[in-house]
Amino acid sequence: MTRRLGWATLALLLVTTPAFADEGMWTFDGFPGQRVEAAYGFTPDAAWLDHVRLSSAQVGGGCSGSFVSADGLVLTNHHCVHGCVQQLSTKQRDLVEHGFNAKTRAQELRCPGFDVTRLEAITDVTEKVLAATAGKQGEAFQKARAAVVAELEAACAASEAVRCDVVDLYRGGRYHLYRYHRYFDVRLAFAPELQAAFFGGDPDNFNFPRFDLDFSLVRVYEDGQPAKVQDHLQSSPAGPEAGDLVFVSGRPGSTRRQLTVAQLAYERDVRLPEVLMRLSEVRGRLYGLAQRGPEQARIAKGTRFSVENAYKAFRGRREALVDTAFFAKKAMEEDALQEKVAADPKLKAQVGDAWGEIARAVATERDLRFALEYQEPGRAHGSRLFAIAWDLVRMADELPKANAERLPEYADARLPVRKAKLMSNAPVYPELEEALLAFALENMRRELGADHPFVRAALGAETPEGLAARVVKGSSLGKVAVREALLKGGKAAVSASKDPMIAWVRTLEPWGREVRKRYEAEVESVVTRAAERIAAARFAIYGTEQYPDATGTLRLSYGAVEGFPYLGQPVPPFTDFAGLYARATGKPPFDLAPSLARAKAKLPLDQRLNLVTTNDIIGGNSGSPLIDKEGRLVGLVFDGNIYSLGGDYGFDPRVNRTVAVHVGAILAALRTAYGAGHLADEMSPP
């Protein structure tokens, strides 16, 4: 990974300068309008905020998007729908390689197990949650919180088209109930060739200048017809100029800017190094699979892309934390808060030994981490068949229970999403399944040891490769009808199933419950209770001037179109199509997508292609709309620059940059290179 400026330099800048106005991923009901007014002379009013919120979307499992027409058209990144495109591809029709353009709505293809949601309402439920958990510790706290959350979510979710989540903000300082409208029927309308969306490949990833058309279009349907969407973003083909105020509305996955020093040290010294090692190893396995032939390369491509992207992102996070000056800044911030707490007798009594409690819980987490990862894996093994079997076995035990007594992921409010994913007709690739599952089992044996009781129970006398091959090849869970029968048959059907994957998971599942129970009692509940007290003290001292850590929920950030310094020279904020053709070498990863190669004489070469802004984003913001102060779509977020990789833990707008596709480039490419003028006209009527 290319480093243009040392992390130590960045960290020193952070330590020696005050907070910047552009920092923060803010909730829509806590947006700092006065700060924007002071910095840019514009205050978004309630109507503006409501329109942008309702025009924004959560796409699939971990991306953002926006509604861009009244007929349910949704704009997001190509890499956000890559899984859908891959699942719709076949050996004879590779839509990833060649792209897809539905000339009519009848030709749009439904994405298996894919959904789009829109945040419709936010309600503060802090008092209800805190009242239910008051005075409780350990397992009692976990059960009380799970029960009140399940009750609130169930009362909110009036139908399967409504999803409700209780969101933990400020590390337990606030709890909000988010109500979403959910679209189950999502169909692919357009995707360019992968090479158009990822021109420059890994060498350009997290860098700038960029020359990518990382966009795709899907459409949401209701009752078999395109959904009618009142709030949607109008496109502004001219886009912004340098210095213009812009907003990013999306769902940043998570940040850890309010973690304690003990938690950050665990991230730096334990979790991140182990994650990087596993990603590096699985990348090698996938490369080996791809070498077996063209079809194996095709089925491994999507997972390889995700793994390579994750590796670079996690490496950037660790580079931030291993920098001594950066880490010293985090320690200074914690010391300052502790000093203020100690100076106030009332706060001191309320907070108690919260920092010490978290440090001791982190030590316990370190001891439990491998057991938790392998005994309670959920989807961590990478195998889709394993994940299906795990859900079926868990559901058989959980669904007969009262809603408030279930594990949170199986509460009534969350079941529609879970069942839809479970019943997805996405293809299952046995070779990929075996490779990923065998890798996970090898890691399990290595980390826990061959003599660990769980390892003996999981493997018996088999090798990881032999077990993976047996349960994958013998399983019929790739058939939706088989899953439907097992789910409908409940506990009796799952217990009687002779499917080898189901039978194997049945032996593992009780081990998962055991370690999960200990983790929740000794780590999660302790950290949550202590973090609540720290959050209360932070509120008492700083109020809501500080934004909450990102939680995978909708946020709004603000900033300006602006380049950044590189080796003493300014990097301009825009690239254009002329730069794309000048950069192309004809050899991967700088070879042109065929549609763009053919369109060179037709495309406006001076059309701006990509741009950078000072907006604060993190992973999960992929697909977020870039919006001007008039509430118009001017770009599509698809990346951050190399400096933004430490954004989990801090932010510096002088060098952290959001990277976006210019909306004018999207419209020009649709009309000129791809023969999809009907979609461009729908986004931006001529």
pLDDT cut 70: percent of the chain above it: 96
Question: Mean pLDDT lowest for which of 265-269, 501-505, 642-646, 672-676?
Answer: 642-646
161 falls within a domain: no
The total of structural domains in the chain comes to 2
407 falls within a domain: yes
120 falls within a domain: no
pLDDT cut 90: percent of the chain above it: 87
Do 494 and 583 share a domain, yes or no?
A: no
144 falls within a domain: no
Res 401 pLDDT > 60: yes
Alpha-carbon span 228 to 80, nearest angstrom: 23
Do 282 and 378 share a domain, yes or no?
A: yes
- Predicted confidence band of residue 278 (pLDDT cuts 50, 70, 90): very high
Q: Dump pLDDT digits (tens) for 336-353.
A: 999 999 999 999 999 999
Q: Dump pLDDT digits (tens) for 440-463.
A: 999 999 999 999 999 999 999 999
pLDDT value at residue 653: 80
Do 276 and 406 share a domain, yes or no?
A: yes
The whole-number average pLDDT for the span 368-396 is: 90
Do 109 and 212 share a domain, yes or no?
A: yes
Res 577 pLDDT > 60: yes
Query: 123-138: string of b/e by CB count within 10 Å (b at 16+)?
Result: eebeebbbebbeeeee
Do 450 and 522 share a domain, yes or no?
A: yes
347 falls within a domain: yes
pLDDT value at residue 377: 85
Instruction: Tell the burial category of 433 from Cβ atoms under 10 Å away from its Cβ (0-12, 13-18, 19+).
Output: buried
Decide which of 570 and 302 is more confident: 570
Q: Dump pLDDT digits (tens) for 132-155.
A: 999 999 889 989 999 999 999 999
Do 216 and 299 share a domain, yes or no?
A: no
Q: Which of 543, 570, 594 finishes a domain?
A: 543
Res 15 pLDDT > 60: no
Do 267 and 198 share a domain, yes or no?
A: no
pLDDT value at residue 568: 84
Distance between the two ends of the chain, CA-based, in angstroms?
43
Q: Residues 122, 29: contact at Cβ < 8 Å? A: yes
Alpha-carbon span 222 to 162, nearest angstrom: 13
Do 570 and 589 share a domain, yes or no?
A: yes
- Predicted confidence band of residue 86 (pLDDT cuts 50, 70, 90): very high
CATH of the domain at 602: 2.40.10.120
Q: Residues 128, 435: contact at Cβ < 8 Å? A: no
Do 430 and 444 share a domain, yes or no?
A: yes
Res 379 pLDDT > 90: no
350 falls within a domain: yes
| Domain, as residue range, for 201 | 7-115+184-257+548-683
Q: Which of 528, 543, 558 finishes a domain?
A: 543
Alpha helices in 89-236 (DSSP H): 95-98, 126-133, 138-156, 194-197, 201-204
Q: Residues 222, 185: contact at Cβ < 8 Å? A: yes
Do 409 and 503 share a domain, yes or no?
A: yes
The whole-number average pLDDT for the span 377-400 is: 89
3-state SS class at 602: coil
Q: Residues 299, 429: contact at Cβ < 8 Å? A: yes
198 falls within a domain: yes
The residues, ordered by sequence, that sit 6+ positions from 186 with a Cβ below 8 Å of its Cβ are 74, 84, 110, 111, 114, 115, 116, 218, 219, 220, 221
Q: Dump pLDDT digits (tens) for 642-675.
A: 889 889 999 988 889 999 999 999 999 999 999 9
Q: Residues 150, 411: contact at Cβ < 8 Å? A: yes
Res 20 pLDDT > 70: no
pLDDT value at residue 21: 65
Q: Which of 500, 527, 543 finishes a domain?
A: 543
Task: Provide the token pair at 498.
Answer: 């002779």
- Predicted confidence band of residue 17 (pLDDT cuts 50, 70, 90): very low
Res 396 pLDDT > 80: yes
Q: Residues 655, 642: contact at Cβ < 8 Å? A: no
Res 9 pLDDT > 50: no
Res 171 pLDDT > 60: yes
141 falls within a domain: no
Task: Provide the token pair at 145.
Answer: 């919180």
Chain centroid to CA 617: how far?
12
Do 500 and 599 share a domain, yes or no?
A: no
Res 16 pLDDT > 80: no
Alpha helices in 343-429 (DSSP H): 345-351, 354-375, 384-398, 415-422
In three-state form (DSSP H/G/I as H, E/B as E, the rest C), the secondary structure along 646-672 is HCCCCCCCCCCCEEEEEHHHHHHHHHH
Res 12 pLDDT > 80: no
Alpha-carbon span 402 to 419, nearest angstrom: 18
Res 275 pLDDT > 60: yes
Do 386 and 479 share a domain, yes or no?
A: yes
